[in-house]
Structures are given as C-alpha cells and as structure tokens.
C-alpha cells in the first residue's frame, strides 16, 4: 500500500490546534447538554405515554365507579314517586288528622328502614313536613317548613327535585330526591327521600381510590378525601356564594375553593392537577400530582371525578429519563473511546505504513547500492586482473631486461673475460709445449711442476666460467628468501675460516623475508663475508658485524668488518669485473660485480661505506616481502 506523503505534511500550527481546541472546549458541554436534554426527553415521553396508559385505565375505572354512583342514586329515583300510589299519603294530605299522620309516619318509617335511606318524608304544597320516617327522633322534620329548599320548589312545580344538601335540622349531608305527588292532575304535596351517599366514600377509601363527586354548583359533595369535601372545584362568584349561603344548601360551610398548585388541561375531561400534600401523606412530599378524569353522572347535574396519582408514574419516568441519559452518556463515552481508539489505530497504521515505506525505500537503496557495489567490484576485479596481467607482463619484461642486462654485462665483460681466459690459455700453450720438451729431456720433475701449474690454470678458468654461468643463468629474481637462513647458511659455509681467524660475529638483524632467490642471497652473503674475512686476515681481534633495519619497504643489511679497509684508488674500481687486489690466485675480481648485479636484478642494490674507525661496510638493500604481495590477489 502506497502512503500518500501529503497525509503527513505538517499542518500550520494555528490550523492544526484550532479544531482540537474547539472540540475539547465544546464537546464536554455539548455532551452534558445532550445528556440532560435526552434525559428530559426520555422523562417527557415516558410520562406522556404513561399518562396515556393511565388515562386508558382511568377511563375504565371512571366508567366503573361513575356507574356505581349512578346505580346508587338511581336506586332511589322512583322511591318518592311510589308514595303517589300510597292512599294513606294522599289521605293525609287531604285530611291531616293525627291518625292519618301516624299511619303515614309508621308507613314511611318502615319504608325507610327497608330502603336503607336516611329519611323519607311528605310535605304539603306549602312546604311543611306532614309526615316523616324519623317522626320518633328529637330532631324530626315533622312540622318543619322546608319550602325554601330548591328540591321542594322544583317538585311542587312538577319537576323532579334533585338536590344535595346538608340538613338544616341536624346538619347531616344527604341527597334529596323530591317528587310532586299528583292527584287528578294536581299536585297535592311533595314526597322526599333523603339518601345517604357516605357509604360510597367509605367504599372508595377501602379501594384506595381517590375520587370525588361535584354538584351543579361545582361543590364537592362526596370525596374519598374528607379534606376536599364541600370545597368548590371552580371559582365561585360572590353572588353565587351569597345565593348558596342563603339557600342553606351547604349549611354554614364556608365553601372554599379547592385550589390546585398546578393545573394542566390534557384533553376534554382530563387534567393534570397538583395538590398540596395533606397531612396524611408523608411529610417530605410537598405536592402530589394527579391525573384527573371527569365524567358527568347520568340523570344528575353532577360530575364524577377520578384522581389517579401520578407519583409512581413520575418516579418511573424520572428513572426512564435517568436511564436514557445514562445510556446516552455511555454511548457517547463509548463513541469517544472508539473514536480515540480509531485515531490511535489510524496513527499506528500510518506510522507502520511510513515505516514500511521507509523500509522498502531503504531496501531499494540497498539493492541499488549493492548493484553499484557489485558493478564496481566487478570493475575492480577486472582492473586487478588487468593489473596482474600488466604486472606479469612487466615482470616478464623485467626478467627479460635483467637477462638482457646480464647478457649485456657479460658482453661488456667479454673483453676482460677473453683477456682473463687468453692469459691462462697462452700460459697453458707455453707450459704444455715446455712440458713436452721437459718430458723428452727426461726432466720429469720440471714436467710434473708444469703439469701442476696447468691444472691450477684450468681450475682458475673453470671457476671463471662457473661464475659467469651461474650469473647468466635465468633464475627466479623475484623469489623469497629468509635473511636468517641465508646468513646461517653463509656462516656455516665459511665456518672453517671464521674459526681459524678467530672472528667475533655480531648479529643484529631481523629474520625477515626479502624478495630474492634464497641461493642468490646466500651467494651474495658468501661473497661479502668472504671479502670481509680476506680483509681481516692477520688483523688482531677480527670482528664482523651483521646489522639490519627496515626502511622504505626495503631491508638494509650492513656487513661491516674491522679489516684493512679500502684505499681511495681501489674504491674507484670496486664493482668492475675482474678487479681484485688479492694476490695470486686468491681473487677473481667477480664477487662484488656479480653480487651487485644479483641485488639489482632482485630490485635492490649494493653500496659500500667507509667507516671513519676503519674497516669497510657493504650495504645490501633488498625489497621486503610485504603482506600485500605475500597474499595472492
């Protein structure tokens, strides 16, 4: 996967910081606001649907209990009209004699007992009570004028008189059902049944039902909560208050208004009411909310109101709201955590990709470099090969040159050689001629001496040609030689002479490797040490120093003696072939010449120094075997 480098391009600080700052500043309050908002929304929806559920259930309850109230009332609806059929009642109204009154009183008493009503009584058309079921009681209505009662006024006009009121005699509340008693189309009196409705209140209380019934004036006449009884559910005007007070319908009760703390109209006949908590409810509750559902009661101008407490629903809704808020907070937290994690993963991925990219770039570069290196390595190898070939060519050329040089040297020497060889040859001719003559003369001793000299001369010629042959031979001028071994071999070869002369040898050189053939090095050393021994012959305390040191890639071996030294005249001819100062047959004059040629052929050289303290020093410089040249390339 290829990384887009622009992704990692640094954003200007102001632009990079701002969104993050904004996010950090505004995100927490936003989340808190959303949490609260959603919590409230959850609460509201829960309450809304809860109220709807409660309303549906309440509707059924309302219907049930309203029907119960209706049936309770309707039980007595026809009771007053039944008295129309009772002849004793009409007789009493026609002729109010004590006997008739007693008969009706007793009849009404019995009827009241059976019907479980509070009282049944009969009034004449003036509103005076003619007979009553409670005629025996002290506070009996008998003889009382109740013409001011609205139910009487309605009934005497032939209308059904329905009335809730508090008895003016004994102050007992009751429901009055009045009926105008007709005889031949004329109202002759009014029959009234006073019904107790408190039983219903008790029933509601037992069923833990909160309900009340309000009459046409809006006054609560029945209530499961006694505190609400005789309170008005709607505001009463002063006129109405006065009228009601005058009618004594509610006795002398003040008829205060039932004022809710809050009222919210939901639908027709349905409200949400909040009342201050009464003493019976737990003290910590300041107010109680109710769902109030009202329905008119049939055959009466009354309304039945059912109050469903909303406390449980409210608690449930609060819980739901909290649940929603917590759930949202949790989801928000999880989302933030997920987002942070996603960012971390994205950063890691980007870093990994960048690393991979860098890695592959590195690998690419390594491959390129390796290719370059391989190419330059190949180039180097071919250069080395070329160099080796050149070296080989050079070496061959050098060999050829050396050989040519040697042959040239021999060529240069040829006159001297010819001279050197001609002299003994001439001597040999003379000697051999003489020897023949001496033999003819019988001079055997002289002939023998001559033959001896001839032998010596032949030996000398043989040595000259041997030296030249070994010099001219094509050898390995670039071989390797151990200096230690070469010195040892030379000293061993000359051991007899060293011992005879009593020479002290001082060795101060390193056992190193030099670039020359081992035999040739030994040959040079034998020449130099041999010359030194010759120079130290007959010298007291002869000493030989062999000292060496490495310098500029060469090893300089100094062969010093305390011999007679070399006089200035001799110094001029030292390296000339066949130059010798040695008497007789002792010197050939080829030692230094050949040694210098061999050293030069090996890339070194031979010098001479003349120490002030006497003696001579021959310095042999030879190339060192370097570690580079020691290893084959």
Which is nearer to ligand ADP, 324 or 528 (by Cβ)?
A: 528
Backbone angles phi, psi at 282, to 5 degrees: -50, 140
- Of the candidates 81, 169, 247, 581, which one interacts with ligand ADP according to CB under 6 A? 581
- Of the candidates 277, 582, 600, 610, which one interacts with ligand ADP according to CB under 6 A? 582
Q: Nearest Cα to 292, choosing from 220, 216, 206, 201?
A: 220
At closest approach, how far in Å is the CB of 570 from ligand ADP? 5
Interior CA angle at 91 toward 89 and 96, to 5°?
A: 95
Looking at the DSSP bridge assignments, the partners of residue 124 are 189
Q: Which one-letter DSSP state was computed for residue 227?
A: G
Which is nearer to ligand ADP, 201 or 420 (by Cβ)?
A: 420
Which is nearer to ligand ADP, 120 or 536 (by Cβ)?
A: 536
539 binds ligand ADP (CB under 6 A): no
- Of the candidates 532, 557, 596, 606, which one interacts with ligand ADP according to CB under 6 A? 532
Residue 250, SS3 per DSSP: coil
Which pair of structure tokens corresponds to residue 579? 């130059």
Which is nearer to ligand ADP, 269 or 587 (by Cβ)?
A: 587
The C-alpha atoms of residue 530 and residue 144 are separated, in whole angstroms, by 188
> Under rule CB under 6 A, how many of the chain's residues touch ligand ADP?
23
Contact 170, 181 (CB under 8 A): no
611 binds ligand ADP (CB under 6 A): no
The C-alpha atoms of residue 588 and residue 526 are separated, in whole angstroms, by 14
- Of the candidates 63, 84, 579, 610, which one interacts with ligand ADP according to CB under 6 A? 579
Residue 485, SS3 per DSSP: helix
- Of the candidates 214, 555, 561, 604, which one interacts with ligand ADP according to CB under 6 A? 561
At closest approach, how far in Å is the CB of 476 from ligand ADP? 24
At closest approach, how far in Å is the CB of 575 from ligand ADP? 7
- Of the candidates 127, 218, 309, 587, which one interacts with ligand ADP according to CB under 6 A? 587
Contact 464, 421 (CB under 8 A): yes
The C-alpha atoms of residue 159 and residue 161 are separated, in whole angstroms, by 6
The C-alpha atoms of residue 410 and residue 575 are separated, in whole angstroms, by 14
Part of the chain binding ligand ADP (CB under 6 A), chosen from 487-495, 506-514, 531-539, 546-554? 531-539
Interior CA angle at 519 toward 515 and 520, to 5°?
A: 60
Which is nearer to ligand ADP, 307 or 486 (by Cβ)?
A: 486
Backbone angles phi, psi at 309, to 5 degrees: -60, 140
Part of the chain binding ligand ADP (CB under 6 A), chosen from 19-27, 39-47, 193-201, 579-587? 579-587
Part of the chain binding ligand ADP (CB under 6 A), chosen from 26-34, 35-43, 325-333, 559-567? 559-567
251 binds ligand ADP (CB under 6 A): no
Site string for ligand ADP, 302-321 (x = CB under 6 A): --------------------
At closest approach, how far in Å is the CB of 578 from ligand ADP? 8
562 binds ligand ADP (CB under 6 A): no
544 binds ligand ADP (CB under 6 A): no
- Of the candidates 503, 588, 596, 622, which one interacts with ligand ADP according to CB under 6 A? 588
531 binds ligand ADP (CB under 6 A): yes
The C-alpha atoms of residue 308 and residue 306 are separated, in whole angstroms, by 6
Which is nearer to ligand ADP, 253 or 579 (by Cβ)?
A: 579
Part of the chain binding ligand ADP (CB under 6 A), chosen from 81-89, 166-174, 258-266, 560-568? 560-568
Q: Considering only residues 11-50, where is the footprint of ligand ADP by CB under 6 A? A: none
Instruction: Give the position of tokens 């006073």.
Output: 194
Find all residues with CB under 8 Å of 226, minimum gap 6, and list them: 201
Interior CA angle at 100 toward 94 and 102, to 5°?
A: 145
The C-alpha atoms of residue 597 and residue 588 are separated, in whole angstroms, by 16
Sheet containing 303-309: order of strands: 220-223, 210-214, 303-309, 287-296, 270-276, 262-267
Provide the binding-site residues for ligand ADP, judged by CB under 6 A: 527, 531-532, 535, 561, 563-566, 570, 574, 579-582, 587-593, 616
């Amino acid at each position: 996967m290829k990384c887009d480098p622009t992704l990692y391009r640094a954003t200007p600080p102001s632009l990079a910081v701002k969104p993050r700052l904004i996010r950090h500043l505004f995100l927490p309050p936003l989340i808190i606001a959303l949490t609260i908002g959603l919590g409230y929304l959850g609460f509201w929806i829960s309450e809304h649907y809860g109220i709807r559920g409660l309303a549906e259930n309440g509707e059924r309850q309302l219907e049930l209990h309203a029907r119960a109230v209706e049936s309770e009332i309707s039980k007595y609806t026809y009771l007053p009209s039944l008295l129309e059929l009772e002849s004793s009642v009409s007789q009493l109204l026609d002729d109010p004699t004590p006997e008739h009154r007693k008969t009706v009183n007793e009849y009404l008493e019995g009827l009241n007992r059976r019907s479980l009503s509070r009282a049944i009584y009969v009034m004449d058309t003036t509103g005076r009570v003619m007979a009553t079921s409670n005629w025996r009681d002290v506070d009996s209505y008998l003889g009382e004028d109740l013409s001011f009662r609205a139910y009487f006024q309605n009934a005497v006009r032939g209308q059904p008189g329905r009335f809730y009121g508090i008895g003016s005699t004994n102050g007992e509340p009751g429901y009055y059902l009045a009926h105008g008693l007709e005889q031949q189309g004329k109202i002759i009196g009014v029959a009234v049944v006073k019904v107790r409705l408190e039983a219903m209140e008790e029933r509601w209380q037992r069923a833990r039902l909160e309900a009340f019934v309000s009459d046409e004036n809006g006054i609560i006449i029945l209530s499961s909560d006694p505190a609400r009884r005789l309170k008005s559910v709607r505001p009463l005007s002063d006129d109405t208050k006065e009228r009601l007070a005058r009618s004594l319908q509610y006795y002398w009760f003040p008829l205060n208004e039932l004022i809710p703390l809050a009222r919210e109209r939901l639908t027709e006949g349905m409200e949400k009411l909040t009342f201050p908590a009464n003493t019976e409810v737990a003290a910590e509750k300041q107010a109680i909310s109710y769902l109030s559902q009202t329905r008119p009661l049939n055959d009466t101008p009354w309304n039945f109101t059912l109050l469903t407490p909303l406390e449980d629903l409210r608690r449930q809704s609060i819980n739901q709201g909290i649940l929603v808020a917590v759930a949202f907070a949790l989801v928000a937290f999880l989302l933030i955590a997920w987002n942070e994690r996603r960012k971390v993963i994205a950063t890691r991925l980007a870093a990994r990709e960048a690393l991979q990219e860098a890695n592959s770039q590195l690998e690419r570069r390594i491959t390129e470099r390796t290719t370059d290196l391989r190419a330059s390595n190949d180039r180097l190898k071919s250069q080395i090969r070329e160099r080796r070939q050149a070296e080989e060519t050079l070496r061959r050329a050098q060999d050829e040159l050396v050989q040519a040089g040697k042959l040239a040297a021999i060529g240069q020497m040829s006159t001297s050689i010819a001279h050197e060889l001609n002299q003994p040859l001439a001597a040999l001719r003379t000697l051999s001629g003489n020897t023949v003559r001496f033999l003819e003369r019988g001079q055997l001793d002289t002939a023998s001496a001559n033959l001896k000299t001839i032998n010596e001369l032949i030996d000398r010629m043989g040595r000259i040609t041997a030296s030249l042959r070994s010099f001219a031979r094509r050898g390995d001028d670039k071989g390797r030689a151990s200096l230690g071994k070469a010195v040892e071999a030379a000293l061993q070869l000359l051991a007899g002479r060293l011992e005879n002369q009593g020479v002290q040898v001082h060795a101060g050189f390193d056992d190193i490797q030099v670039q020359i053939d081992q035999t040739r090095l030994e040959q040079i050393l034998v020449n130099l040490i041999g010359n030194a021994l010759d120079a130290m012959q007959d010298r007291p305390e002869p000493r030989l120093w062999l000292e060496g040191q490495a310098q500029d890639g060469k090893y300089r071996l100094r062969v010093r003696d305390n011999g007679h030294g070399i006089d200035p005249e001799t110094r001029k001819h030292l390296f000339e072939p066949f130059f010798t100062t040695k008497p007789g047959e002792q010197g050939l004059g080829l030692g230094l010449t050949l040694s210098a040629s061999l050293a030069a052929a090996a890339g070194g050289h031979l010098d001479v120094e003349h120490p002030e303290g006497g003696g001579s020093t021959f310095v042999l410089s030879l190339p060192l075997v370097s570690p580079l040249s020691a290893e084959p390339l």
